[in-house]
Structure formats: structure tokens, C-alpha cells
Amino acid sequence: MSGAAGAGPAERWFADRFGGRPEGVWRAPGRANLIGEHTDYNQGWVLPFALHLGVTVAASRRDDGVLAIASRQAPGAPVGLPLATLVPGAVTGWAAYPAGVAWAVRETGHPLAGGASLAIESDLPQGAGLSSSAALECATALALAGLYGLDLSRPELAALAWRAENDFVGVPSGIMDQSASLLSRAGHALLLDCRSGETTDVPLDPAGAGLGLVIVDTGARHALGDGRYAERRRECDRAAALLGVTSLRELTSPAAAAGLADSVLRRRARHVITENARVQETVTLLTGGDLAGVGAVLRASHASLRDDFEVSWPEADVAVDAATAAGALGARMMGGGFGGSALALVPAGQRAVSAAITAEFGRRGWPPPGFVRAVPSAGALRVR
Ligand code: GAF
């Protein structure tokens, strides 16, 4: 494990900023999404898995009612926020995420009386579409629950981390990322039914299948709050309303989208309907031990995200095409879109795919992409 995976770096950072030893250390992973993109806020299915990279929070209670936060990725004096002043919109920038979680915890009736000191350390690249924000929220939620002995289940913690992001920070995300970070099991992907909240662990063992899952950080940065993600959400809601259903999840046949006169809404609905079917297909393949068969499903997902949902971006399209041409079984863009990472399913130990993607980027004068081997890992936990 790299960087901040153990308790040590966060504990040292805590000692540096606040002095002494923290009461505990908690860690929450980022996520990759195998399949099920832009389906969570349509009440559909997603199939993400936790990464080995994540955010670690070393924390102690305080007695002055202040939330003091220091991030090693944003050096400077700790940010000090009196808990009583936490209201949506009051905090901006990275500190809004942990502050939003403290706000959400208090909103559920747990006062966190004395406040807390949080020292944050991360080995997740930011803006790479690997859910660094959700990992920060989930590590903070787990830390505050641990410090104050709060009786909150994992799904409840995911819900309040999601609430922090939506209602405090003001980013209209779905529940996938927080669920993946808190509920995943090592060696498995997490099948989440976003309508019922029901989860199922689905075996995902690339190495055992002689394959590898590679994350390609395209270097193009994205922000969920830039308006385009929210626009997609509005389009989906509008399509569902016009089709007379409470959510696009209710529709199972792509033919249902044909009832929409507006060609943009028709394509948005078609993506959601076919993507939900691809999640089911992927689960069937994985359950039957056919990870290689998932390659074709990943390729179809990318085409749908590119052509129907229109959330792909040039670097992702080039990475996916180059990966496939160089021998990947399948590849697709990942996450909200407009920047971030792609995911490729490759034969184990194959360097041809990353070499081909790097060469294509170079040909276009783009900076070389980053590569991370994605290992389906455990969800958030107390490290010490
Ligand atoms: C982002 C959001 F945070 C998720 O909720 C999900 O909608 C995803 O984009 C798209 O599938 O990661």
C-alpha cells in the first residue's frame, strides 16, 4: 500500500498541526466504477468498487465547540470553524466537505458538543474522478461517529455524507460514491440498487482471471459542480416526467425512449435504460466467472456515454480507442464525465495498452496520462 494507507503519516500530520497523539485514525477509500454510470440519481443500479487509495483522518475530540481541520494537501494553518456557525454556504473550498459532514451529523440530532480536530492525509489524486471528495466525507463521518460513539450504520453514514455534499457543499451528486467508499468488500464490486438501497457483493478478482483493471487518469480535470452534471440530472427528470414514470429506472426497454419527441431527451433516456441493463448483464457475467466477457459491455457503455449521454471528453475517447486497439478487452470513461479517468480491462501484465495510450497522447501534444492498477479493496475502516 502506498502513501497515506497506514495510520503513521496522518498521525504525524496530526502531531505537527495539533500536537500530541490523535484519539484515533480512520480511512475511507476512493472508488472506481465498473459499470452503471449516471444511473444512481435515476434510482437505478451501479456496480462500483473501493480502491486501495483513499483519505485518512487522524482525529481527537476538543472542548471548545470548534471543528479544526488541517489538510496535508492544502498546507497552511488549520481552519477553525465554530460548530454553531455551520450552515449551508458558510464554508467554501475543500474544508466545506468535512464541515458539511459535521453539519449533517448535527442535523441528525448528534450535537458533537466539544468539536473535533481533524488532520487529513490523502493519496488519492484530486479531480481524477476517483471520488476524493466522497472519500474525505466518509473518512470524516466515520471519525466523528467513532470519536463521539454515535450509533450510525454504514448506510446511515453514507446518507449523511451524501447530504453534506448535496445540501451543504451544494454539489448535486448521487449516492454511488459514498456507498462504494463505506460499503465495499475486498475482492468484490458492490451492486447497489439506488431505489431500495439494497446491496449485494459481487466477486471481482481480475488477477484470478489473468486480467487487470487499469485506471487511466487522462489529466483532464472535472468538477461535478460546474453545471453540466446538474444539467444531465434535469434532462433525466424531464424525460421521466414526460414518459409518465417517477424515474427512468422504471423503464426496461430502450424502445420506451422512442416516445420522447425531443431527440436529446430521447438519447439521455436511452443511455440510462441501456446502462441499467448493462449493469445486470455484468453481474450475470461476473457471477458466472466470465470477467473477460465484461469487456464488450464496457465498450458498449462508453459508446452510450459518448453518443447518447454526451459526457465523454476527448482524452477519454482517445484513451478508450487506443486501449482497445492495443489489446484491451474493453474500456470506458468513468464517473460524472467531462474529465477524470477511464477504466480499461486488460490481459494481466500487459504494458502494450498503457504504452499505446501514452503514445496517442504524445502524438496530440497532451501530457502523458497516469496509470493506476485498480485493486477491488475494502471499504472505510478504523486504522487505529
Ligand atoms: C459522480 C457522482 F458523484 C455520482 O453520484 C454518479 O452520478 C457519477 O458521477 C456518474 O455515474 O461520480
If you write DSSP's letter for every residue of 171-228 in order, what string do you get?
----SHHHHHHHH--TTEEEEEETTT--EEEEE--TGGGTEEEEEEE-S----GGGSH
- pLDDT-derived band at 2, boundaries 50, 70, 90: very low
Q: Which amino acid is present at 196?
A: S
> 154-163 vs 176-183: helix axis angle to the nearest 10?
150
pLDDT for 264 beyond 90: yes
pLDDT for 1 beyond 70: no
Beta pairing, strands 370-373 & 45-61: unpaired
With a pLDDT cut of 70, the percent of the chain lying above it is 99
Which secondary-structure segment (H or E) carries 93? none
Of ligand 1's atoms, which has the minimum distance to the CA of residue 46? 11
For residue 78, how many C-alpha atoms fall within 13 Å in the half-sphere facing its CB?
A: 23
- pLDDT for residue 313: 97
pLDDT for 123 beyond 50: yes
Residue from 380, 378, 372 nearest 130 by CA: 372
- 177: annotated active-site residue: yes
- pLDDT-derived band at 5, boundaries 50, 70, 90: low
pTM for the whole thing? 0.97
Question: Is 38 touching ligand 1 by the criterion CB < 6 Å?
Answer: yes
pLDDT for 231 beyond 80: yes
- pLDDT-derived band at 180, boundaries 50, 70, 90: very high
Of ligand 1's atoms, which has the minimum distance to the CA of residue 39? 11
User: Looking at 177, 201, 217, 317, which residue is catalytic?
Assistant: 177
Question: Is 137 touching ligand 1 by the criterion CB < 6 Å?
Answer: no
pLDDT for 45 beyond 90: yes
* Contact between 131 and 26 (Cβ < 8 Å): no
